[in-house]
Amino acid sequence: MLGERLPGTWSLRTRDKEPIADNQLIDALVNLTPPDGEGIVLGIEVKRAVTPRDVQPMLDQITSFAATRPMPTDVMPVLVARYLPESTRERIATAGAGYIDATGNIRIVADRPALFLSDRGADSDPWRGPGRPRSGLRGEPAARVVRALVDFAPPYTVPELAERAGSSTGATYRVIDFLEQEDLITRQAYGPITDVRWRDLLMRWSEDYRFAESNAVSLYLEPRGLGVLVKRLEAAEQLEYVVTGSLAAARAVAFAPSRQALIYADDPQRLVQALELRPTDTGANVVVAAPRYDVVFSRAETMQTIAFKVAALSQVVVDLLSGPGRNPNEAIALLDWMEANEPDWRR
């Protein structure tokens, strides 16, 4: 794969199973050489599968190899697997290493000599059989556990987390095992969860949970604008709903005037009637969602300065991240505020 993508004047030479200290082997050394002769040495480690948690130990192994023997140039670590998920590829690139997988996902970047090889392969594992469990953060248990991990500061045990999340202990353990592989949480051996990288966790959850795709949504028009909508929401205390998206984020970050309201409702038709909204196919300024999971209502708040019910910030962020237009930028601004003011929102 590398040879096919190298400039025609470059050469490639591979040496397999090079010895390291303590009778260990590095899987391969690859010399990439340009016409002037000063090349790049790639130190290759191959695994059947690589998770984000595996990345640093594998890179350390290549680094230890380079330290045990004199090399004509620095060794660039490159991790190879049958398939590398996006989160793993991002972790490798952030560490300054390269990667290759069998579907064609490739990234090799060097300064001297200058080389940039990048290609896109599959976005999902083509070898995952239909009978195998799906890995990721789709489904209600994942939504409940992610929301609880973000909303509540650790430490807590997995059973304690399951109780707060409203999820079964077995399902919670399965989600936690996945998040450990993704290096998004830290858990002591047979002990409590001690750290949650909640910003990265919300970003990862947004890959699997999307407002418009994970819920049944309908489009409406409030012809007199969102100001009128807000006043009617304030008077609809008896209805089960929460506002998310830009309107909800405004309680923390003033980004820009909201142009569209996103609302979860347990009974959308009743809410639509109470708000006197008009169905529309174009120009909607109100989107009402019937949620698949009632966790969207968990830990909702009514702020002193905002008299309508708003979703928890952990829910607002993920809905903005998957939203249209400027919504992802609003999500980043809200995440920045949450990092700077964690005691104000995290329980």
Give the per-residue pLDDT at 66: 65
Looking at the structure, tell me whether residues 95 and 198 fall in a common domain: no
Looking at the structure, tell me whether residues 17 and 81 fall in a common domain: yes
Looking at the structure, tell me whether residues 281 and 220 fall in a common domain: yes
Looking at the structure, tell me whether residues 153 and 274 fall in a common domain: no
Looking at the structure, tell me whether residues 201 and 75 fall in a common domain: no
131, pLDDT greater than 50? no
Rounded average pLDDT over 108-135: 78
**Sign (positive or negative) of CA dihedral 7, 124, 290, 144:** negative
C-alpha 176/C-alpha 162 separation (Å) is 10
Looking at the structure, tell me whether residues 177 and 216 fall in a common domain: no
Looking at the structure, tell me whether residues 291 and 180 fall in a common domain: no
CATH number, residue 182: 1.10.10.10
Beta 115-119 vs 106-110: how paired, if at all? antiparallel
pLDDT tier at 136 (50, 70, 90 boundaries)? confident
pTM metric for this prediction: 0.73
| 50-101 pLDDT tens trace | 888 888 888 887 877 766 665 556 788 999 999 998 888 988 998 889 999 9
pLDDT tier at 132 (50, 70, 90 boundaries)? very low
Give the per-residue pLDDT at 256: 73
Q: Which domain holds residue 316?
A: 211-345
Q: How many CB atoms lie within 10 A of CB 45?
A: 21
Selected residue with higher pLDDT from 305 and 320: 320
Looking at the structure, tell me whether residues 321 and 246 fall in a common domain: yes
Looking at the structure, tell me whether residues 233 and 326 fall in a common domain: yes
In a domain, 130, yes or no: no
Domain boundary among 205, 228, 258: 205
Residues 33, 22 contacting (CB under 8 angstroms): no
| 166-193 pLDDT tens trace | 999 999 999 999 999 888 999 988 789 9
In a domain, 131, yes or no: no
In a domain, 12, yes or no: yes
First to last CA, the chain: 49
Domain count, the chain: 3
274, pLDDT greater than 60? yes
In a domain, 7, yes or no: yes
Find the Cα–Cα–Cα–Cα dihedral 223, 226, 228, 230, rounded to 10°.
150
Give the per-residue pLDDT at 305: 65
Looking at the structure, tell me whether residues 215 and 326 fall in a common domain: yes
Tokens 């012809």 correspond to 223
CA distances from 117 to 145, 173, 200 (A): 38, 39, 27
pLDDT tier at 304 (50, 70, 90 boundaries)? low
Q: Which two tokens stand for residue 177?
A: 């095992």
CATH number, residue 22: 3.40.1350
pLDDT tier at 209 (50, 70, 90 boundaries)? very high
Looking at the structure, tell me whether residues 224 and 336 fall in a common domain: yes
Domain boundary among 89, 119, 149: 119
pLDDT tier at 259 (50, 70, 90 boundaries)? confident
Beta 278-279 vs 216-221: how paired, if at all? antiparallel
Under DSSP, is residue 61 helix (H, G, I), strand (E, B) or coil?
helix
284, pLDDT greater than 80? yes
255, pLDDT greater than 60? yes
The rounded percent of the chain whose pLDDT value lies above 70 is 92
Domain boundary among 184, 205, 226: 205
CATH number, residue 322: 3.30.460
133, pLDDT greater than 60? no
Give the per-residue pLDDT at 17: 67
Tell me the average pLDDT of the chain: 88
